[in-house]
Amino acid sequence: MWIPYNFLRFFLDDDEQLEDIKKQYSSGKLLTSELKKITIDLLSNIVAELQTRRKEVSDETVTQFTKVHELCF
């Protein structure tokens, strides 16, 4: 199928919504421009969330995750 749909297959959590989009697009009820808009909206939300979470990461947080820890077995 088409690339925007493949993005939805990977990033959309709702399988029922994905199946509905597939049926509508395959039947011609959903236009390519509408499929692109759905995909853009979903990916924009994901990117915005990642950007917000990335701003919260401090140098101290990075240091905590990258410092060498003693392994205790």
pLDDT tens for 2-59 read: 899 999 999 999 999 999 999 999 999 999 999 999 999 999 999 999 999 999 999 9
Q: What angle do CA 21, 26, 31 make, to 5 degrees?
A: 70
Q: Can you read off the two tokens belonging to residue 28? A: 């011609």
Provide the pLDDT confidence category of residue 69 given band limits of 50, 70 and 90.
Answer: confident
Q: Which domain holds residue 47?
A: 3-52
Total of domains in the chain: 1
pTM: predicted TM-score of the whole model, two decimal places: 0.77
User: Does the residue 33 lie in any domain?
Assistant: yes
Residue 43 in contact with residue 11, Cβ under 8 Å? yes
User: Does the residue 59 lie in any domain?
Assistant: no
Q: Can you read off the two tokens belonging to residue 46? A: 């994901």
- Residue type at 44? S
User: Does the residue 22 lie in any domain?
Assistant: yes
Residue given tokens 């820890």 in the structure block: 69
- CA 23 from chain center: how many Å? 21
Residue among 27, 47, 37, 41 nearest 19 (CA): 27
pLDDT at 1: 57
